[in-house]
Chains A and B, each alone.
Chain A
Amino acid sequence: MLLPQLSSNSAVQFQMRRSTAAYGASNQLASGSLILGENTRPLRRMWELSYRGLTNEELAELAEFCNSLDATVDGFVFLDPFNNMLNCSENLTTSSWAADPTVTVVEGAQSNSGEGRVHLLENTGSSEQSIRQELELTGGGRFCASCLVRSDTPGEVGLRLNSSTESSSAEFQSRSEWNQVYLSADVNVAVPPLAFCIDIPPGGALQVKSLQLEYQPFPSRYKPTREKGGVYANARVLYQSYQVVQHGPEWFDCSFQIEA
């Protein structure tokens, strides 16, 4: 289950707030020394989401979502709007990424312009192969997969979003200059995972950077992830945080807090 998207296909509106809390042990000795223990549980993250100008349908969908969570034990998967959904977007050689047998991944240099680290992807096979990352989530909505690509010789590159039952893909031309490509698609994930794939044609070699997956219709500025991306399982809406103000017919404001 995912936070429902509004009629604009975005799941949140400006203004959002995000904070963190830690649980750790500390011990202050008589000598004045302070011993800090490790966090006893992972960081707790909280988001305060505020919506303005919602219609009846949008409000009803959000209300139904929040009410339905009361009956669940495990909560829902929250996709952090402050972050990139992909894990390790800055290192495609980690175990977060899986490359087909004939695809080689070579880590390149860091871009100066904040667009992240460049990777060279090469397919030495005779059929189309891919590099992909799988994310554990269920639910449906509009996702946007994006990256910057270039190749020394003009060629093709594909972006694909796969679930167990659906697949959306788009093909693009790579050129000698950096070019942003993105795939915006409605994907329904009945059974995890959702896979983000870059397809490389046979014999193809291309450079990629700024790989990003977002729960919204269009790509935003690149947010690099060195470890975990912004997919939080077991999230829940904080008890009694749900508030609605009606300003007129079909005109509601709504806010609630999420913890993960």
Chain B
Amino acid sequence: MEQFPILRSGGIVQYPVRTKRGPVRTHVEFWGGGGQTYLRKRSDPLSWTIRYSGLSEEEAASLLEFCERYAESGAFFSFSDPSTGVVYDKCAVEADSIAAASMGVNAYEFGATINRIEE
């Protein structure tokens, strides 16, 4: 399975990386007071929002090409959790989250959100 592109520094991400995990809950307030919290999803979602700055043109193009190719095809790739090092084999990129900007020579920015897909 294809790996996420590696930067010229050898790293996969730049800090900070925002990781979201944990069950999704919904809280309902009752008319007479009180409320109830319940699980909206029984699964345990995990996602990473990654942002890069100071990228070279090649790095930005490589990230953009990789993410768009996977977003378009709906295929999965493997991604290593930056905080734990655990490699998740089935990950997908959120198509709406892919964004790139060129601020100058070797001053490219890139961002995307990656979701772990549960079986």
Residues of A within 8 A of B (CB): 14-22, 24, 28, 31-34, 36, 38-39, 42-43, 81-84, 114, 220-227
Pick the residue among A18, A20, A32 that contacts B71 (CB under 8 A).
Answer: A20
Contact indicator per residue, chain B 7-51, by CB within 8 Å of chain A (1) or not (0): 010000000000000000000000000000001111100000000
Contacts A15-B102, A16-B102, A32-B40 given; does A221 touch B95 at CB 8 Å: no
The reply to whether B71 and A223 form a contact with Cβ atoms under 8 Å apart is no
Q: Would you list which residues of chain B between 62 and 119 have a CB under 8 Å from chain A?
A: 62, 64-65, 68-69, 71-72, 74, 95-96, 98-105, 107
Residue from A18, A20, A222 having most chain B Cβ neighbours under 10 A: A20
Known interface pairs A18-B100, A22-B96, A227-B69; 17 further A-B residue pairs with C-beta atoms within 8 A, sorted by A's residue number: A14-B104, A14-B107, A17-B99, A17-B100, A19-B100, A20-B68, A20-B99, A21-B96, A36-B74, A42-B72, A43-B71, A83-B61, A114-B8, A223-B57, A223-B62, A223-B65, A225-B65
User: Measured between alpha carbons, how far is A222 from B59 in the docked complex, in Å?
Assistant: 10
Pick the residue among A21, A82, A222 that contacts B102 (CB under 8 A).
Answer: A82
Residues of B within 8 A of A (CB): 8, 39-43, 56-58, 60-62, 64-65, 68-69, 71-72, 74, 95-96, 98-105, 107
**B42 CB contacts on chain A under 8 angstroms:** 31-32
Interface of B is mostly: mixed
The reply to whether A39 and B102 form a contact with Cβ atoms under 8 Å apart is no
Q: Would you list the 9 A-B pairs with minimal beta carbon distance, nearest first? A: A22-B95, A32-B42, A223-B61, A32-B41, A17-B101, A221-B57, A20-B98, A19-B99, A18-B100
User: Measured between alpha carbons, how far is A146 from B96 in the docked complex, in Å?
Assistant: 33
The reply to whether A114 and B102 form a contact with Cβ atoms under 8 Å apart is no
User: Measured between alpha carbons, how far is A81 from B108 in the docked complex, in Å?
Assistant: 12
User: Measured between alpha carbons, how far is A204 from B42 in the docked complex, in Å?
Assistant: 64
User: Measured between alpha carbons, how far is A32 from B101 in the docked complex, in Å?
Assistant: 36
**A223 CB contacts on chain B under 8 angstroms:** 57-58, 61-62, 65
Tell me the smallest distance from the CB of B106 to a CB of chain A, in Å. Answer: 9
Measured CB to CB, the nearest residue on chain A to B109 is A17
Query: With contacts defined as CB atoms under 8 Å apart, how many contacts are there between chain A and chain B in the complex?
Result: 84
**A33 CB contacts on chain B under 8 angstroms:** 43
Tell me the smallest distance from the CB of B98 to a CB of chain A, in Å. Answer: 4
Tell me the smallest distance from the CB of B42 to a CB of chain A, in Å. Answer: 4
The reply to whether B62 and A16 form a contact with Cβ atoms under 8 Å apart is no
User: Measured between alpha carbons, how far is A22 from B98 in the docked complex, in Å?
Assistant: 10
User: Measured between alpha carbons, how far is A102 from B26 in the docked complex, in Å?
Assistant: 67
**B98 CB contacts on chain A under 8 angstroms:** 19-20
**A32 CB contacts on chain B under 8 angstroms:** 39-43
The reply to whether B57 and A220 form a contact with Cβ atoms under 8 Å apart is yes
Measured CB to CB, the nearest residue on chain A to B99 is A19
User: Measured between alpha carbons, how far is A17 from B64 in the docked complex, in Å?
Assistant: 12
**B60 CB contacts on chain A under 8 angstroms:** 82
Contacts A18-B100, A43-B95 given; does A83 touch B64 at CB 8 Å: yes
User: Measured between alpha carbons, how far is A17 from B74 in the docked complex, in Å?
Assistant: 24
Q: Would you mind naming 24 contact pairs between A and B with Cβ atoms under 8 Å apart? A: A15-B103, A16-B101, A17-B101, A18-B99, A19-B98, A20-B96, A20-B98, A21-B95, A22-B95, A24-B95, A32-B39, A32-B41, A32-B43, A39-B72, A39-B95, A43-B72, A83-B64, A84-B61, A114-B58, A114-B62, A221-B56, A223-B58, A224-B62, A227-B69
